[in-house]
Amino acid sequence: MECQLTITRTEQKKEKPASDKLGFGVHFTDHMFTMDYTEGKGWHDPQIVPYSPLTLDPAAMVFHYGQAVFEGLKAYRNQEGKVRLFRPDQNFKRMNRSLERMSMPLIDEEFMVEALKQLVAVDKDWIPTESGQSLYIRPFVIATEPCFGVRASYTYKLVIVLSPVGAYYAGGMQPVKIYVENNYVRAVRGGTGNAKVAGNYAGGLKAQVEAKEKGYEQVLWLDGVENKYIEEVGSMNVFFKVKGEVWTPALNGSILEGITRDSTIQLLKDWGIPVVEKRISMEDLHTAYVNGDLEEAFGTGTAAVISPVGDLNWNGHQMIINGEKTGELTTKLYEEMTGIQYGERVDKFGWSVEV
Ligand code: COI
């Protein structure tokens, strides 16, 4: 990336939300990063500008054919005011995999990490410091060319916005209730399931609405071919502790390759806890439950961090896990992961990046 990043600071700073009223992704900071792409010219005009609405042609292709890719990561500020990002290189790597899948132009990953550091530094006063709070970072790319022809757009916009957040789930670290979806399908092999694209989430909303009506917060997706094997939850990857061993669905092309998932696997291995990445059928999981072998279940994700799962409903079989209490391993992982993210624990993997 040859062009210079320009920074224009706002004259009108917004009022920051009270720390007990953050919620998730509803407040936005004073600035944002934008960069444009034009076929033949490449990515150009990277800039940090005051946060503002985007002006797009109503015929912009993102509105019609859905070329939209996004990422999610966080910045953490500790009590001394040090600001850290967690594995940001991995997010821009994954963004490139998603862009490639959607026939969208690739980005310069190193430049993006540097640009993000500058954006976070400009808005660092927005990063909350209380336990469990952070600055959620949402980079996204959309197709902007006005055209109704079904083909890849010739122009794009990359934007990064920032949002001070608390816990993703309203109940904080309380175990979540999950409904195993049997009717709708999230992804099939060869589709876009392992890419972080907007359409994957839109297609999952109906199941989520129906699960909510039944009293469940999230949906657990099964494979799209046999409707048997566990894939992921709407907003996180899943893990199960069964007789001292930790199981998680093996990446198969239709599961999102979570960065927190990968970090969790590395931590568990480092602790000498056996982790098995494999095809896990609901039937096997239910058998483990009935036999009293299903000790803990938890989800992993940037937004979800490490979230305990307390109740899993599969075809009317209700599985109450660990008495709907957060398990010991789940707690240990949460503490280690957030300890590294906030710079409070030794980061032997070199995941934490100072801003
Ligand atoms: C994340 O964990 O960052 C996600 O993107 C999941 C969800 C909020 C869409």
Mean pLDDT on 276-305: 97
Name the amino acid, one letter, at 288.
A
**C-alpha of residue 237 to centroid of ligand 1, in Å:** 10
Q: Tell me which residue has its CA closest to atom 5 in ligand 1.
A: 72
The predicted complex's ipTM stands at: 0.95
The average confidence (pLDDT) of the chain is: 96
Question: Which residue in 241, 211, 232 sits closest to 313, CA to CA?
Answer: 211
Pocket test for ligand 1, best of 302, 306, 307, 341 (most atoms within 8 A of CB): 302
Contact 98, 69 (CB under 8 A): yes
Query: What is the CA(301)–ligand 1 centre distance, in A?
Result: 7
- State percent of the chain over pLDDT 90: 93
> 84 CA distance to ligand 1 centroid (A)?
19
Whether the per-residue pLDDT at 164 is higher than 60: the answer is: yes
Please return the burial class of 31, using the count of CB atoms within 10 Å of its CB with bins 0-12, 13-18 and 19+.
buried
Task: Inform me whether the pLDDT recorded for 1 exceeds 90.
Answer: no
Residue 301 Cβ inside 6 Å of ligand 1? The answer reads yes
* Residue with CA nearest ligand 1 atom 7: 235
Question: Rounded mean pLDDT of 10-33?
Answer: 95
Q: Are 305 and 338 in contact (CB under 8 A)?
A: yes
Read off the pLDDT of residues 218-246 as tens digits, 9 standing for 90 and up.
999 999 999 999 999 989 999 999 999 99
Strand partners, 60: 146
Q: Name the phi and psi angles at 233, rounded to 5.
A: -95, 160
Which whole number is the average pLDDT over 172-176? 86
Query: Which two three-digit tokens encode residue 299?
Result: 């989800």
Residue 80 has a pLDDT of 87
pLDDT for position 49 = 98
| Among 169, 235, 237, 238, residue to substitute to test ligand 1 (most atoms within 8 Å of Cβ) | 235
Tokens 């799209």 found at: 224
Determine the residue type at 311.
Answer: D
* Å from CA of 264 to ligand 1 middle: 16
> Looking up tokens 């095809």, which residue turns up?
279
pLDDT of residue 12 exceeding 80, the answer is yes
Cβ 72 under 6 angstroms from ligand 1: yes
Whether residue 170 has pLDDT greater than 80 = no
Close Cβ partners of 142 (under 8 Å, ≥ 6 residues apart): 56, 60, 62, 67, 68, 156, 157, 159
DSSP 21: G
Q: Is the dihedral of CA 182, 185, 190, 192 positive or negative?
A: negative
Atom of ligand 1 nearest to the CA of 304: 2
Chain segment 87-138, per-residue pLDDT in tens: 999 999 999 999 999 999 999 999 999 999 999 999 999 999 998 899 999 9
Q: Cα dihedral sign for 241, 246, 252, 253?
A: positive
Average pLDDT on 211-221 reads 96
Percentage with pLDDT > 70 across the chain: 99
3-state secondary structure 267-328: HHHHCCCCEEEECCEHHHHHHHHHCCCEEEEEEEECCCEEEEEEEEEECCEEEECHHHCCCH
302 CB near ligand 1 (under 6 Å): yes
User: With 60 as the cut, is the pLDDT of residue 29 above it?
Assistant: yes
99 residue type, one letter = L
Which tops the pLDDT comparison, 157 or 21? 157
For the chain, which domains are there?
6-165 (3.30.470.10), 176-342 (3.20.10.10)
The ligand 1 atom at the shortest distance from the C-alpha of residue 196 is 5
